[in-house]
């Protein structure tokens, strides 16, 4: 049976709840809510994650990256929307932006027993509110980048500045680049957000947006 068919059977679907939770948010608030989504994400992939386990840590993490990249299409949120979906909703849709893809990967990493962090990178000093988020797993051999938006495994785009966030504690600290390559569009953030809802227990923003 293909991994896709196994995932259809093993990844829990989103319950599809919608609740208004906030009237405004900024980038810091978005990050906090991504971390909250991460903490709620474990059950969705608990019965599936083991199917991606390889012979080594690097094999396993490459499997996670490859599976996500091959089955979840990167689709940038439409202007005026910042969306974070549960792993169940992301799998059902088969698409998401870097936020939803990161939570999807984070859920799998957690269920495989890996510690990890989220890196939020900013690329243009002229647009300090726009950035990109991706998970980085800890292994006995060092850190491994698991960014399914990037076409190269264990690579990251050189950034202007970046911060790392520990999911459990929310602790934030400046990042140190691991592997830089190519270019990637920045797509996290904007300047004004009005209105927010939750889908499947996770925040889904529907904003009136005004860019600087």
pLDDT tens-place string over residues 145-169:
999 999 999 999 989 999 999 999 9
DSSP-assigned states of every residue in 95-117? EE-HHHHHHHHHHHHHHTT--EE
pLDDT digit string, tens, across residues 21-57? 455 567 787 888 889 889 999 999 999 999 999 999 9
3-state secondary structure of 39: helix
Q: What is the mean pLDDT of residues 118-143?
A: 91
pLDDT band at 203 (very low <50, low <70, confident <90, very high): very low
> Is pLDDT of 114 > 60?
yes
Residue 200: what pLDDT?
Answer: 47
- Dump strand ranges (E) for the chain: 18-24, 73-74, 81-83, 95-96, 116-122, 131-139, 142-145, 161-165, 172-174, 194-199, 202-206
Asked which of 51-60, 84-93, 110-119, 193-202 is least confident by mean pLDDT, the reply is 193-202
The whole-angstrom separation of Cα 70 and Cα 61 is 14
More confident site: 176 or 145: 145
pLDDT digit string, tens, across residues 63-86? 999 999 999 999 987 766 677 889
Residue 22: what pLDDT?
Answer: 52
């Amino acid at each position: 049976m293909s991994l896709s068919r196994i995932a259809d059977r093993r990844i829990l679907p989103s319950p599809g709840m919608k609740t208004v939770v906030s009237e405004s948010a900024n980038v810091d608030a978005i990050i906090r809510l991504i971390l909250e989504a991460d903490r709620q994400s474990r059950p969705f992939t608990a019965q599936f994650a083991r199917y991606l386990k390889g012979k080594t840590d690097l094999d396993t993490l490459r499997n996670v990256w490859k599976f996500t990249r091959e089955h979840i299409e990167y689709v940038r949120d439409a202007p005026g929307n910042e969306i974070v979906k549960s792993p169940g909703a992301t799998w059902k849709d088969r698409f998401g932006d870097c936020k939803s893809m990161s939570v999807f990967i984070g859920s799998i990493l957690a269920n495989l027993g890996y510690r990890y962090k989220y890196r939020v990178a900013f690329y243009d000093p002229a647009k300090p509110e726009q950035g990109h988020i991706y998970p980085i797993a800890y292994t006995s051999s060092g850190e491994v980048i698991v960014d399914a938006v990037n076409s190269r495994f264990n690579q990251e785009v050189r950034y202007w500045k970046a911060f790392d966030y520990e999911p459990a504690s929310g602790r934030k600290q400046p990042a140190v680049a691991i592997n830089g390559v190519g270019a990637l569009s920045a797509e996290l953030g904007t300047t004004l957000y009005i209105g927010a809802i939750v889908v499947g227990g996770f925040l889904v923003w529907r904003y009136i947006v005004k860019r600087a």
